[in-house]
Amino acid sequence: MAPHICSIVPPYLLRGIAENSVNDESHRQVALRSLHQRETYTAKRCDRFSALARPRAARAQHPVQQQGIVPEFLLKHIAESELVDAETRARAARDCEHIHSVTTTYKQSLASQSLDSEQQPEASTATASSVTPSAKPGFYRAVYDAKHKDDEEELPGDLVRVEGQPAHADAAVNEAFDNVGKVLDFYQQQFAWKSIDNRNMHVLSSVHFGQDYENAFWDPDRMQMVFGDGHAFLHKFTGCIDVIGHELTHAITEHTAPLEYEGQPGALNEHVSDVFGIMAKQMLEDETADKSDWLIGEGCLLPDVKGVALRSMKNPGTAYDDPRFGKDPQPDHMDGYKRGTTEDNGGVHMFSGIPNRAFYLAAVAFGGYSWEKAGQVWWKAMNSGRVPPRCTFIQFADVTTEVADELFGDEGAKIVRAAWTGVGVVRKH
């Protein structure tokens, strides 16, 4: 299986910039460097979703890394900062004390079991779980400056803004902080989902990653958002709420239905992130399904690029057509699906356009705001336990149709089934 880490800009777009002789050498080198940096992190997402997809017993033997608590130094900074409001300082001080309590209990437990650890290899894991709080009373947002370094070991970077502090002089810092908050508010308001894991996990972001890095991604090792500044063609990742919604949804998918990141399940993984990213954008702009442009990453293309966005959910394959990096390759129907594609983990970014258009068709047919009915169907489907890790398009179509029937009756089921039929996702007789 080819490795991959999710990033909002697909690899074929970066490769198009890097390999096109129309572009000057400096632009090609920047794109190539962004592509190589992306590939440095690619193994993590596949590994993570593969681990999450294992049976529960196997996951217990090889637990997937989780971010349990925010670093103590961050809480200490919040608790002592005069720029933070009193309520947030008090909460941070309380959480600092809790960290000491958890750490002390955990160390004592490990010490008491050290003599028979070989006979009981899973004891320490169970003990660690037993002292981890079931849920934190609130979560913190924090934004760091990566100072243009591209070494993961140096992430998150220098702390520049935390929960309770006023706006910073750096616009990218404020955009990341505010837009992360808006996406999390969207999940809370529309789906009663708290933070990333529904247990108030703290949310960290790093801006100014790499030299002219033309991408943004969720780092599954560091459990945080990472934003580059962009360069000649792509930029402003912190300013696009749908970009942030897309990446945070990859993290949320880990806690709902962890779809394997390869082929059709990988394309569905990308699709789900686009769905919730676009809904967050539509809520911010107060747009009904029929009024939305359904564009993902609309603000990421620089003005002289011949295109409107990174992807179009309404009309996949029409987002851009620029001689410097090619034409949007997404098909909008199964007629354009190519089995056996090896690039991009079996075309996870490319073929996500097919289910994307299905969601668009369903949302418009339901009417009103996309999150009122179509979004509720997709959300319940992802939390139903009926979406397998290696889910195919037709399996996902079946589950969403079943859920639509449960939520909105026969008419709802007909709408969703018609949407999937409209993109050629039908059962073969």
Q: Let me know whether 127 and 267 are in one domain.
A: no
Count structural domains, the chain: 2
- 187 domain residue, yes or no: no
Q: Is the pLDDT of residue 150 over 70?
A: yes
Q: Is the pLDDT of residue 113 over 60?
A: no
This prediction has a pTM of 0.75
Clarify whether 429 is annotated catalytic: no
Q: Which two tokens stand for residue 67?
A: 């971010």
Q: Is the pLDDT of residue 1 over 90?
A: no
Pairing of strands 311-312, 321-322: unpaired
Confidence of residue 406 (pLDDT cuts 50, 70, 90): very high
Nearest C-alpha neighbor of 140 from the set 87, 63, 215: 87
Catalytic residue among 163, 175, 247, 262: 247
**What gap in Å lies between CA 310 and CA 297, rounded to an integer?**
5
pLDDT (0 to 100) of residue 300: 77
Structural domain boundaries enclosing 341: 263-422
Q: Which residues pair with 142 in a beta bridge?
A: 162, 204
- 161 domain residue, yes or no: no
Q: Which residues pair with 230 in a beta bridge?
A: 235
Q: At what angle do helices 11-19 and 25-40 cross, to 10 degrees?
A: 150
* pLDDT digit string, tens, across residues 377-391: 999 999 999 999 999
- 387 domain residue, yes or no: yes
Domain boundary among 131, 146, 176: 131
Which ranges in 237-352 belong to alpha helices (H)? 241-253, 263-284, 344-347
- Report, as an integer, the average pLDDT of 395-403: 98
CA angle 117, 120, 126 (to 5 degrees): 95
pLDDT (0 to 100) of residue 39: 56
pLDDT (0 to 100) of residue 305: 75
- Report the chain's mean pLDDT, rounded to a whole number: 79
Q: Is the dihedral of CA 12, 13, 15, 20 positive or negative?
A: positive
Residue 63 per-residue DSSP state: P
Domain boundary among 131, 152, 169: 131
Q: Tell me the DSSP string of 170-216.
A: -HHHHHHHHHHHHHHHHHHHHH---TTTSS---EEEEEEETTT---E
**What gap in Å lies between CA 299 and CA 309, rounded to an integer?**
7
Q: Let me know whether 270 and 412 are in one domain.
A: yes
Which residue would you say has higher pLDDT here, 393 or 124?
393
Q: Are 334 and 425 in contact (CB under 8 A)?
A: yes
In the block, residue with structure tokens 């608590």? 69
Give the three-class secondary structure for 218.
Answer: strand
Domain boundary among 101, 116, 131: 131
Clarify whether 247 is annotated catalytic: yes
Residue 322 per-residue DSSP state: E
pLDDT (0 to 100) of residue 399: 98
Q: Which residues contact 429 (CB under 8 A, 6 or more apart)?
A: none
Of 78-87, 131-140, 166-175, 305-314, where does the model show the most confidence? 166-175
- Report, as an integer, the average pLDDT of 397-416: 98
- 174 domain residue, yes or no: no
- Report, as an integer, the average pLDDT of 255-264: 92
* pLDDT digit string, tens, across residues 24-47: 776 666 666 665 655 555 455 555
Considering only 56-60, 185-189, 290-294, 368-372, which range has the smallest mean pLDDT?
56-60
pLDDT (0 to 100) of residue 49: 55
- Report, as an integer, the average pLDDT of 343-356: 91
- Report, as an integer, the average pLDDT of 267-271: 95
- 74 domain residue, yes or no: yes
pLDDT (0 to 100) of residue 232: 55
Catalytic residue among 250, 298, 349, 402: 349
Confidence of residue 122 (pLDDT cuts 50, 70, 90): very low
Which residue would you say has higher pLDDT here, 77 or 112?
77
Q: Which two tokens stand for residue 166?
A: 């006023």
